[in-house]
Structure 1
Amino acid sequence: MVYTIVCHLYAKEGKEVEEKIRSKLVEASTVYVKDAGTLNWHVMQDHKDSRKWTIVERYENKGVRCTESAVNWLLLVGYDINLSLCNAVNLSLCNAEQSLKAHVANPFYATFGSYMAPLLAKKLEIRQFNELGSSRL
């Protein structure tokens, strides 16, 4: 079953910020799509509000808990996480793809988070999905 993560980002104002985000997301897409277990890594910009961005990440399989660096990235970009609860139970937020191991291990991962965090006006919004049936493109 394909596992999909959808991230919504909302940038701070300014054309310079918009260009920095565009450039970094395009770079991230070309880097991350090569990771083992990654099917697709798409980036999009809203057609009306240029401050809204979406990342759609598609991975092959599911099963491993988030690594410490994955949780740190989520905290860095402003996602609220109850760490004690994450450690105590297997929350869907902490359920990560086996394929995410390669994604998080990628050296680009740490620099991506620290670069993006100051450019965002709102907390990162993350949704996780399991694709139904054999719905592969």
Structure 2
Amino acid sequence: MVYTLVCHLEAKDDDSIEKIKRKLIEAARVYRKDKETVDWFVMQDVNNPRKFSIVERFEHESSQKYHLENPYWKTFDPYVKPLCVNQHIELSRHEELDTSKDVELLPL
């Protein structure tokens, strides 16, 4: 199954929004080419333009190593974190569920 990271970040001020947006677009174009990366999506909240999400999809949990070994990584965090609220990027890790097979629904 696909291993997925979901990252949420928030720009610290209005001046940081466009900088983060451009960096995320640039990063997606770079990281999509990494070995064992299924895709790398970037999104901006429709109600609060300061909030962004990144969905990183890898073939396996171990595939992250190619992402972290990419020389671009050394430029990404130092650029983005100072533009964020409390220099914090919220991260959650997921294993995608196998939706290719039929399942029997359990009673409510």
TM-score, with length taken from structure 2: 0.87
- CA offsets 1:28-68 (integer angstroms, 9 cap, x no match): 0000000001001000000010010000000001xxxxxxx
Find the counterpart in structure 2 of residue 49 from structure 1: 48
- CA offsets 1:90-128 (integer angstroms, 9 cap, x no match): xxxxxxx22111100100001100001110014211111
Find the counterpart in structure 1 of residue 74 from structure 2: 110
Matched positions, count:
99
Unaligned 5+ runs, structure 1: 62-96
Find the counterpart in structure 2 of residue 68 from structure 1: none
CA distance in 1, matches of 2:36, 2:62: 8
Q: Runs ≥4 in structure 1, deviation > 3 angstroms?
A: none
2:81–2:89 contact (8 Å) kept in structure 1:
no
Find the counterpart in structure 2 of residue 71 from structure 1: none
% identity of equivalent residues: 49
Find the counterpart in structure 2 of residue 5 from structure 1: 5
* Bigger CA radius of gyration: 2
Unaligned 5+ runs, structure 2: 101-108
Which protein has the bigger strand share?
Answer: 2
Cα RMSD after superposing both structures:
1.1
TM-score, with length taken from structure 1: 0.69
The one-letter amino acid paired with 2:32 is V
CA distance in 2, matches of 1:40, 1:134: 18
| Residues 37/134 of structure 1: CA separation in 2 closer, same or farther (3 Å cut) | farther
- State the 1:134 CA deviation: 4.9
